[in-house]
Amino acid sequence: MTMNTTVTEFILLGFSQNPRVQTILFLIFLTIYITTWLGNLTIIMTVIFMPQFHTPMYFLLANLAVIDISDSTVTAIKMLWDLITHRNTISYNWCIVQIFFFHFTGGAVVFFLIVMAVDRYIAIYKPLQYLLTMHQGVCVSLVTGAWLGGFVHSIVQVALILQLPFCGPNILDNFYCDVPQLIKLACTDTYITELLMVSNSGFLLTLIFCVLLVSYSIILIKIRAHVTEGKHKALSTCAAQIIVMSLNFVPGMFIYDRPFQVFPGDKIASVCYTLITPMLNPMIFTLRNREMKDITRKLIRKLMSFTIKESK
């Protein structure tokens, strides 16, 4: 805790103070969280146990599923606990910890989507060299680099927050701790800090999003003009990645790519960014990939039949 900080805990307003509404929201968000685990875990298990999916693209997809589970867990566990216990407080230290892991996993997702775009670029533009270029060592290095990028981004966020004193208001109009709301409670002028936060989060998100959009546009043009074999699969894969990229970037840009003011739509964007997107990602990749969809069904049937035999 910083020396100038006297606040020991923050109050999270959440979505509602009505116990009945909180119970309903608990059931809804618990269902979303369980679905997130099931969907992403299914992709992870499919890639691990099915040899035909031991390729760079599916290796990256399985790692994205790991990040989605981690990203959702950072906010979901605390939120579900508050909804069921009706205790909407979080200590200063745990607030900082949540911010760290939230931006750690969120930053890793952003860098990971860059890695997946690079993977598709090499697969489409240099198909004969693809497996030689994207060998296991390269894939592991890219995944490690994505996590490292998220770590560096998160350290910067937390370092800036730790320099701020908190000595008065302690009410956060959100369901988890994050920079936009927390920075407004500081007992000092935060103009410079806000500019640094916007440049580190909002500006980077916008820049990366624009670069990825241009990159995928070039890839799609290449597919439509030159690719003959497997064109539909390539288009479907790129379309899925563009959808997932948009689901991750657009809500994030809405929250971070502006001066830190509280807007009515902030909580909706936060729910999309932290809970809905990690749940939808595996559905999008699975539904738009016929091979993945068929194999996943077979794997689920095998697991169900094995479970039934064991129970007998």
Q: Which domains does the chain carry?
A: 9-311 (1.20.1070.10)
**Rounded-to-10 torsion of CA 60, 65, 70, 75:** 130
Q: Which of 43-52, 98-107, 122-131, 169-178 has the highest mean pLDDT?
A: 98-107
Average of per-residue pLDDT across 186-193: 85
Q: What are residue 231's phi and psi, to 5 degrees? A: -60, -45
* Res. 1 pLDDT band, cuts 50 70 90: very low
Query: Are residues 108 and 72 in contact, defined by beta-carbon separation less than 8 angstroms?
Result: no
Instruction: Give this prediction's pTM.
Output: 0.87
pLDDT one-digit tens code per residue, 209-250: 999 999 888 888 888 776 666 677 778 888 888 888 898 898
Query: Are residues 150 and 106 in contact, defined by beta-carbon separation less than 8 angstroms?
Result: yes
**How far is residue 114's CA from residue 208's CA, in Å, rounded to a whole number?**
8
Q: What is the DSSP string of 241-273?
A: HHHHHHHHHHHHHHHHSS-S---TTHHHHHHII
pLDDT at 2: 46
Using CA atoms, how far residue 45 sits from 91, 105, 288, 300, in Å, is 37, 21, 18, 10
Nearest C-alpha neighbor of 194 from the set 139, 284, 261, 123: 261
Res 160 pLDDT > 60: yes
Query: Are residues 248 and 114 in contact, defined by beta-carbon separation less than 8 angstroms?
Result: no
More confident: 207 or 302: 207
pLDDT one-digit tens code per residue, 278-307: 999 888 877 666 777 777 677 667 667 656
Query: Are residues 124 and 234 in contact, defined by beta-carbon separation less than 8 angstroms?
Result: yes
Lowest mean pLDDT among 32-41, 144-153, 216-225, 252-261: 252-261
Residue 275: enclosing H or E segment and its boundaries? none
The tokens for 15 are 């979505």
Average of per-residue pLDDT across 101-127: 91
Q: What is the mean pLDDT of the chain?
A: 86
All residues at 6 or more sequence positions from 152 whose CB lies less than 8 Å from its CB, including other chains = 107
Q: To which residue do tokens 């035999």 refer?
A: 309
Nearest C-alpha neighbor of 204 from the set 264, 157, 262, 162: 157
pLDDT at 282: 85
pLDDT at 307: 62
